[in-house]
Structure 1
Amino acid sequence: MEEFTVIDVVEGDDTKIDDSKNGQKAALPLPPPTEIPMDEFTVIDVVEGDDTKIEDNNKNRQESAPELKPPTDEDGNLDKWLFPIRPNVGNKGSKLKVFVNFIKMHFPEKLTLYEHEVKYSILLRGKESGKDKIPLYSSLEKRSLMIEAFNNVVKSAKSLKMPHYYYDGGNVLISTTPVASDSEEVLIANNVVGVVSVSFKIGLPRKLVVDIKSLLNSSNTISFESRCNEMRRLEFITSSVIANEAQCVMNGNFFKSSFELFKIGERFELRTGVFKSLRIIIGSENVNPDRWHLALNIDVKRAPFYTPQNVVNYLLEEFGLSTLETKKRWAPSEISTMQRKLIGLKVKASNTKFVWKIEDVIGKNALEEKFFCEEFDEEISVDKYFRQKYCIKLRYPYLPLVKNKRCTFPMEILDVVPNQKVPNKKLDENALSSVIRLSSITPFKRKCETLEKVSDLGLLKGQRLARDTGIHHTEELMTVTARVLDSFNILHGRDSKNQYVSHVTRSQWDMRNKELFNTARIDNWAVINFSDVATGDLKRFLKNLICKASECGIKISSSWSVFEDKAEKNPHSLESLFQNLVDHKVTYALCILPNTKDWFRGFLKYLSETKYGVITQCILKKTVIKATRDRNPDTLYFNLALKVNSKNGGVNNEVSQESDVIRTWMRPGVMFMGIDVNHPGNAGIKSDSKNAADLEPSVIGVVANCGKSVSDYRMQCRLQSSRQEQLDSVVFKEIVLWFLEKYEKKNGVLPESLIVYRDGVSESQFKMVVSSEVKVFKSAFEQIKENYSPKLTVIVVTKRHSAKFFKTNINSHTHVQEQNIPSGTVIDTVIVSPFLYDFYLCGHHGLLGTSRVLRYIVLHDDNKFDSDDIQMLTYALCFTYQKCTRAVSLPSPVYHAHHVATRGKELFLAAIREKGDKNVKLEEIEMKLKIREKVSNGMFWA
């Protein structure tokens, strides 16, 4: 399995109510409650290995189809449309019929809806509250809470007649019939959900007639913005049935209790949900049809949630029941384990209705922790308080207490509330492995499960919404004629006079007994053994690695230095170790680590790459043992040799120049650039100082091929404001100028074309890319040289979409590896956007689960690519990733940029650890993150 996609909804800050009186410590005050808090959730799609190849029987290129008419404003003007229009439909490749998880929708020509403004007031424990200040809830969770409260009221209010409605959790209600009369508003009685009491007032109806016929007329001059507004209303009303039945509704994902559920140990459960999105699609294999179509994109989702149960049960797997009942003293390491498992959980005390979040596990137990209780007018222990106040005799009085901001509670009186997503960092190795395995759904099974979920949407012909409104969909998945592009052969060999071609089969190639394209030479190197791996095993491993590297053409000296160090327990001793390496003129160090402690590895990389200029490669102890004891470890050694070569300035492979597209674009004069932004997780570093960064910053990772060859990349990583996807204009301009100067220095000329692959951008940010980032490129061109204006193409790479493709001739007996669509499958008709120049491409051969097909959107194109050329070039870049001998799912510039942004985050966290002050200014940290030149002359992040 190559990778999996994780979609995270970010949780906001928590706001608590202060119950303490007169500055005294409260006697177990009642924390902010909620009945069923809706936490963020993670949808995990296991993505799926690397791909197959089908021969291209269609060698004759057809004439280009006429241009697609772009959307206009109400006056028919094109000036406001920023994006290039699809020039034609591609023709290269052999045709392949595939199912796609889109279902055709049918609407009446005109649909009447009613939009109401919803006003609401929130009472927090009887007091008026601002609507943005609900304790424990982020803005997304607050929206879910409001939907839950509204639905509860509608169900209990018999006088309300709303057979079909959708409330967005804010101020908009869409319904098929008017709720209020023409002259009065409707006041809905209070509904209590946990800590929050909400009253709603539904405003006067505004009649809306959605002209479906005009909406889908490709020659109509309806503005793009107007179409978006109409689509939003249609999305609402088509979600009305499933949204009002699901227990969790977030970002188009609906989780119902009736859907399949998998237990993962005692603490977690993997729940099944369905994703739904209404889209305007071309609906035809002609690039310019007279009428577009509406379709539902439906997909099966899996997400890990906490199992609702008593908090003590969360510790059973780790400690066992007898230990929890009898142990009286807990070591700091054991309390640390409890903190790791419990902090962040939303819980409800059995003696109250209130919900709160565990913020810490303290060292004291219920017998030791005491406080002054006003009710009993004495200092009292937690254990005695519960016996006297609630007649509860604690079963586990010696367990450490948990607390929120001010209050401490025994674990055994707390229950974990339902519908809480498990943050990824809370999944241990076994749980994560189970989540990946259970989320890895084969194509045939995913197709069947998708069809099973169709009826839950309530939109089938004959179901109530269809009868009342005429809105319904078909029961079959749409079919699309895809094309399978030819694979590319691979160049290897030491120089231009001695290059050989490896032929690709099922998107992979065999490099046994063949030299790499451009090989490195390592004369002075060392091994740092941080583990207790046996000397004999280590020596045997190193000799085998040198031998395998030699077969690939990599020249590694047969003598090396060995440094034994237990610096894992004292990271700062690494300073003297690396100084010793520098004194011995060591340029490359192989580091044997005992485990996968991220902080230690990050600190090691920080010192080696930014302070001492030593290239490092980390290998786990278990990998060394596996390599020395396996009967056939050649593949393991070869994969290590690939990394050794690319880290030390070598290039493992290039794409053969046999294709016109490759000869035209993968040559000197063309620069490829990849851009990604790494954002902090939910628990990013928070600062106490207003002068410092309030949050852990986002990291920009950029790579460009300004090295020895087309596939030899250099990198830049920079910090910017937390969670900001838009690139800082000043910083990004500096990066572009740095790469242009680097390219000119290496090649003697500036590039004549620049092709950029941009990751991490949502559809709502496309305008930002064109209006801001393209402008930065143009400004950099003007600054570096007068009248310099290279042709720029910007392509957004989208991983987080829900389109899935299935072969039409598979069944439950088909071998898993044969169920996935082949590598090189491209789709640029029927389901693509009528407004954008987009296409779907599967770059790899899926070995596990359902292959993830990436969506590419061309947002700027001075090079005037036709569909075939941009698709073939993008596919070719999937063959130039340097860490393996197979095509991967992402074009290599994007893949490298992802690793660079991740490395930048590691270096930042290590710099903070070294500084020991989380309030340090970002400018100071960024000065410490500059990579030493000795390291940066190769793809050291590989």
Structure 2
Amino acid sequence: MASEKLKSDIIEAKSCLDLTLKSHWSGAVHFLSVSVSESSRSVVPFRASPSLEFLLLDLIYETVFLSSSNLDMASRPRRRSASRDGANVHGLQTREAQQIRGRNESEYYHQIMNVEETPAIVADQRPPGAGGRGEILLQTNVYGLTLKDINVCRYDVHVVAKVGNRDRVVEFTKRCVDDINTLQRRTKCRLCLDIVCNKYQNVFQQRRELVWYDSQSILFTASRLDIGATEKKQFVLEEADLRSDPLFDGIKNIIFEVTPCSEGTFMVNASDIARYASDNMDNIDHSLQQFLEILTAQYALNNPQEAVCFGSKTAYLMQPQNHGFRVSDCPDLGDGKYLAVGAAKAVRFIEGPGGRGGQRPALVVDVKKTAFHYNQSVLEKARMVLNRDPGAGDLRRLRSEMKGLIIETRHGRRPRICAIHNFTEDTPATKKFKNANNVEVTLVEYFHQTYNITLAHPDTPLIVVQNSNKQSVYYPMELVYIADGQRVGAAQQGSKLIQAMIRQCAIPPAERIRQIASLVPAFKLTSDNEYHKAAGLTITSQPLNTRGRLLANPVIRYPRGNVLPDASATWKVQRNQYLVPATVRNWGFYVIVMPNRRNTIPPDAVQNFQTAMVQECRARGMDINPPSTWDYLDPVPDAIKTMFQSAKANNVQFLFFISHNDITELHNVLKLYEREFGVITQDLKLSTALDVVQKGKQQTMENIVNKLNVKNGGMNYSLDPPKANSGTTDVLPNDRMVIGLSTSHAGPQSRSSPGTPSTLPSVIGVAANVKADPLDFVGDCLFQQPRRDEKISIMQPLLRSFINMFIENRGTAPKSIVVYRNGASEGQYKDILDLELLMIRAVTHSCGIAPKITMIVSQKMHNLRLMPKNINPRDKPPAQNVPPGTVVDSAVTHPAYNEFYLNAHTALQGSARTPRYTVLHDDSNMSMDEVENLTYSLSFAHQIVNLTTSLPSPVYIAMCYAERGLNVFKASPTDYTLPARQQQMQNGSINGSPGGTQNGSGSGAPSTTAEGNLDFRLMMRDLSYANCSLRNLRINA
């Protein structure tokens, strides 16, 4: 009866909801207090249970905010002129829509909680930590900046040209898909500014060194230009003004439009650091930071013979050997590619050497290495790829290596820039067309007659490009060239290239310091730079040194005795048994290999591995039988699916696979069937198994069995974290829930087709310590709109589920919740405080609890490096890097945020990328010692290997779940685009979940993206773990 009543209430609520959605979203909020009864049509107070109430909130949220059709028409961004904005319109509308959605969502949750909106202010800054086992002297790549007291003015720039006889309009300030057009447009914008400054001196009235331009749409000047506050001043450059540079050939005129920014951001006070380093996210202003980044990029931007720039933060040296770099620093990568060396720089506000209370800007400079294509003929590149002349049988390889690359012609009066669209088996000797005299000629004849060029390779495949009318144009490979300054895209990065780049980019600290010291003068990041002197900017000649503390290691707890990790944060298990050994009774063991490759596996090797694995499991206390089935398996998805079906029918608990190294595409299929049939899996490469039995790699076997135990519900060890605040505070009490959140994005939307809906979702990985032991984490993967990073759409049902599991397993409700939010940028802090924090409060309120909430952002994608002050360059990388437990919470940290850098891991190669942590909100008022000790201790809780992870385990596990979710989605044969789902429903081919119930893993999951293209509810039902038998297991261990 209760179930039927719940169904009835939901149907009634959904019906009422449908009536509400025709009005503005606030009407949906009003629906929470009244319910329309279908039977009586009367209005009665609505008092549902908390779970039903929040199911309704989920439905309201889903329909109101996650469907683009429900944005109030009055609040939709207006479409601007297509002639001005072109493809930029979509990006502008998306940003404006996100801002509108954010404001509406924030108001929505404030109304639910019946609280007034408050400013998004980060947590009050705490004194630096004091605990630890010692100090370490550090050097950084942070250079201090000092500015004189000046005001600079900011302007928006828009540059449009009329090209050709038809006056085709080209917007130079519009973003391009490819590097070459981007670079050329930036160069044209920069040259235009030079001409404008010279031609209109009455307007600019200052030296060129006092005009700082990003070669796109942002301009700063030392003095106010003679332009009205609301005027859009257009400077017209005629053909006669443009003759000085061949880059402007074919251009009739250019309009260089300059507009003052709005009043609040027009005047930038270079000395008022406090205004730009605020703790109030509602008032955040990045103008000063942006000015300094553009100012320090002026030398590179204005000297293209020295550097190639991609924005104001990244530049590469044209001649690195002239600046102290060796040939080995930027080697040839094969296939017509090389590794370029440059700098990634960023301006940050820090406390400075004085610590707390200090405020100063700083420049962070790091080495940047990226693969580029050589500037060579396409024929030369093809030879490097193939190691011979290309022929008709090489078309597939040529397409995979070069399709989409930008090429240039050099045989005509004016160079042409175009993209490779295809290769064809036609050759210059065979391809015929009618020339201007209507005579049929071959390309060989055409080039000889028209350009007096005799083709040396008339039998090579032709390049196909498309003109503006989408018509095919054919070029001989020997006459077109790979345009210079072109980075290697993901499509051209094979595994061999990626491995070579990883090796070359793994720069140990001693060598990194040398290379940074070479980059600083190479890009004139010094006080004597003419642009810096004009602006009154000085830069310290040496990077900042600071002190770090070494945090104490936690105690590793096993049933037969505790273990203390050594200084490198590693430990030996010895003969300890697992804290919670798993039971594995009915399981299968399979070797996946092609039938004709079975004879390559040494006799008895796999059997010996299986025997040794069972023995190791038993030695660790596990209750495990020999496998119920042991067989070879063909690497065919249908055969593997049949095996899973049989395993499920026979109640097989666990399947262990050894895959031949030749099999590279099957792992994700195994994980898809694991989710579908609810049978735990573990997949191992054959070479790894052979290393164990033939080379005696016992540590590898221990790691394999560690993973096996955790996957099957066991727990290898627990921790006793050091107490904070002079040993008085337990950092992980039994009533503290810890959650990790991380997102795996499908990749950027195609800039060439900005309106095209994505067919790949963003996947949110999540992990939480909701089991009996506070160090025992489980997780899940959930799905939401592509490129959206806020976790609103998945937090509601997920957090309620976690709270219920926590109470069930611990016997108490959580009194505090610590959320580690991985990967958010500073630009997202406001959304986290406005939306995600309030959502957590709303859900806990619905559960009848009021825990203290702490929100911590972890971020590894930054350029700041911490390295020991004293380094022996002959040492191996682990000895050159900072040791695990190194923490810095002053000097290089933000002057207004609770921020710290914590290096928890040992860097085995290259230089450690130390994560930065920002405490955005903290009801518990934890000291820095408490937050740092908690974070470091959680880095020991991974369970699989006896060493630390670079990020706390809840974050690391969440990252793995996010990656797993995206991989399983890609492996699934199901089409989750809504048109396909609607067609399948009409055909009657959708009959429920392949592996679970009809219930989605989260009732608040959206059913559409902002583009209305993907069915997330079905994804959650099929691919998430919350509604299947694996939900309480850490299956991605």
- Using the size of structure 1 for normalisation, the TM-score is 0.81
State the identity as a percent.
21
Give the secondary structure class of the aligned counterpart of 2:652: coil
Corresponding residue of 2:145 = 105
| Cα drift, residue 742 of structure 1 | 2.4
Measured in 2, the distance between the counterparts of 1:936 and 1:251 equals: 46
Contact 2:889 2:899 in 1 (8 A): yes
| Cα drift, residue 127 of structure 1 | 4.8
Measured in 1, the distance between the counterparts of 2:272 and 2:143 equals: 21
Measured in 1, the distance between the counterparts of 2:688 and 2:759 equals: 36
| Cα drift, residue 802 of structure 1 | 0.9
1:127-526 to structure 2, matched below 5 A, reads: 127=166, 137-138=176-177, 144-153=183-192, 159=198, 161-176=207-222, 186-188=235-237, 189-190=241-242, 193=247, 197=251, 199-201=254-256, 203=258, 211-215=269-273, 225=283, 228-245=286-303, 246-250=307-311, 252-259=313-320, 260=325, 261-289=330-358, 292-316=359-383, 319-321=386-388, 324=389, 330=393, 335-351=395-411, 353-361=415-423, 364-366=425-427, 373=434, 375=436, 377=438, 391-393=453-455, 395=457, 397-399=459-461, 402=464, 406-407=471-472, 408-424=474-490, 426-493=492-559, 498-526=560-588
| Cα drift, residue 939 of structure 1 | 1.2
Contact 1:807 1:820 in 2 (8 A): yes
| Cα drift, residue 596 of structure 1 | 7.1
Contact 1:162 1:175 in 2 (8 A): no
| Cα drift, residue 270 of structure 1 | 1.2
Contact 1:164 1:176 in 2 (8 A): yes
Aligned CA RMSD, in angstroms, stands at: 3.7
| Cα drift, residue 774 of structure 1 | 1.0
Corresponding residue of 1:96 = 136
Question: What's the CA shift string for 1:311-335, capped at 9, x where partnerless?
Answer: 33444355331xx35x55x2xxx54
Measured in 1, the distance between the counterparts of 2:603 and 2:858 equals: 47
Q: Match for 1:111: what amino acid?
A: I
Compared CA separation, residues 624 and 226, structure 1 to 2 (3 A): closer
Give the secondary structure class of the aligned counterpart of 1:201: strand
| Cα drift, residue 869 of structure 1 | 0.3
Corresponding residue of 1:8 = none
Measured in 1, the distance between the counterparts of 2:850 and 2:246 equals: 63
Give the secondary structure class of the aligned counterpart of 2:831: helix
1:523-922 to structure 2, matched below 5 A, reads: 523-531=585-593, 532=598, 533-567=601-635, 570-595=636-661, 599-609=665-675, 611-630=676-695, 632-656=696-720, 659=723, 664-681=730-747, 693-727=757-791, 729-785=792-848, 788-912=849-973, 920=981, 921-922=1014-1015
Contact 1:844 1:887 in 2 (8 A): yes
Measured in 2, the distance between the counterparts of 1:706 and 1:223 equals: 32
Measured in 2, the distance between the counterparts of 1:664 and 1:477 equals: 37
Corresponding residue of 2:1031 = 936
Give the secondary structure class of the aligned counterpart of 1:458: coil
Contact 1:274 1:298 in 2 (8 A): yes
Corresponding residue of 2:69 = none
| Cα drift, residue 480 of structure 1 | 1.1
Corresponding residue of 1:72 = none
Contact 1:136 1:357 in 2 (8 A): no
> Which is helix-richer, 1 or 2?
2
Contact 1:677 1:701 in 2 (8 A): yes
Q: Match for 1:563: what amino acid?
A: D
Measured in 2, the distance between the counterparts of 1:402 and 1:521 equals: 62
Give unpaired runs (5+ residues) of structure 2. 1-116, 200-206, 982-1013
Q: Match for 2:346: what amino acid?
A: S
| Cα drift, residue 552 of structure 1 | 2.7
Question: What's the CA shift string for 1:663-720, capped at 9, x where partnerless?
Answer: 7242432111111111113588999998xx5331111111111234223222222221
Measured in 2, the distance between the counterparts of 1:373 and 1:237 equals: 54
Compared CA separation, residues 340 and 214, structure 1 to 2 (3 A): closer
Question: What's the CA shift string for 1:23-61, capped at 9, x where partnerless?
Answer: xxxxxxxxxxxxxxxxxxxxxxxxxxxxxxxxxxxxxxx
Give the secondary structure class of the aligned counterpart of 1:420: coil
Corresponding residue of 1:80 = 119
Compared CA separation, residues 300 and 596, structure 1 to 2 (3 A): farther
Compared CA separation, residues 204 and 618, structure 1 to 2 (3 A): closer
Aligned length: 841
Q: Match for 1:681: what amino acid?
A: G
Moved more, 156-165 or 864-873: 156-165
Measured in 2, the distance between the counterparts of 1:222 and 1:503 equals: 41
Measured in 2, the distance between the counterparts of 1:919 and 1:138 equals: 30
Compared CA separation, residues 129 and 205, structure 1 to 2 (3 A): same
Give the secondary structure class of the aligned counterpart of 2:208: coil
| Cα drift, residue 257 of structure 1 | 0.7
| Cα drift, residue 875 of structure 1 | 0.6
Give the secondary structure class of the aligned counterpart of 2:399: helix
Q: Match for 2:609: what amino acid?
A: F
Q: Match for 1:706: what amino acid?
A: V
| Cα drift, residue 540 of structure 1 | 1.7
Moved more, 226-235 or 582-591: 226-235
Compared CA separation, residues 317 and 168, structure 1 to 2 (3 A): closer
Compared CA separation, residues 365 and 584, structure 1 to 2 (3 A): farther
Q: Match for 1:616: what amino acid?
A: T
| Cα drift, residue 534 of structure 1 | 4.0
Compared CA separation, residues 236 and 624, structure 1 to 2 (3 A): same
Compared CA separation, residues 701 and 194, structure 1 to 2 (3 A): farther
Give the secondary structure class of the aligned counterpart of 1:254: strand
Question: What's the CA shift string for 1:430-481, capped at 9, x where partnerless?
Answer: 3222211211111122122222222234353444335434311121111112
Compared CA separation, residues 450 and 685, structure 1 to 2 (3 A): closer
Give the secondary structure class of the aligned counterpart of 1:710: coil
Give unpaired runs (5+ residues) of structure 1. 1-77
Question: What's the CA shift string for 1:79-126, capped at 9, x where partnerless?
Answer: 635211212111112222211211122222x22535444342133545
Please, which of 147, 150, 162 is the counterpart of residue 123 of structure 1? 162
Corresponding residue of 1:14 = none
Moved more, 119-128 or 181-190: 181-190
Measured in 1, the distance between the counterparts of 2:786 and 2:336 equals: 32
Moved more, 674-683 or 792-801: 674-683
- Using the size of structure 2 for normalisation, the TM-score is 0.74
Question: What's the CA shift string for 1:778-800, capped at 9, x where partnerless?
Answer: 11112223xx1111111000111
Measured in 2, the distance between the counterparts of 1:913 and 1:415 equals: 43
Give the secondary structure class of the aligned counterpart of 2:300: helix
Question: What's the CA shift string for 1:234-261, capped at 9, x where partnerless?
Answer: 3332332233233123361121213343
Measured in 2, the distance between the counterparts of 1:348 and 1:219 equals: 46
Contact 2:444 2:458 in 1 (8 A): no
| Cα drift, residue 759 of structure 1 | 0.9
Higher normalized contact order (CA 8 Å, seq sep 6+, divided by chain length) = 1
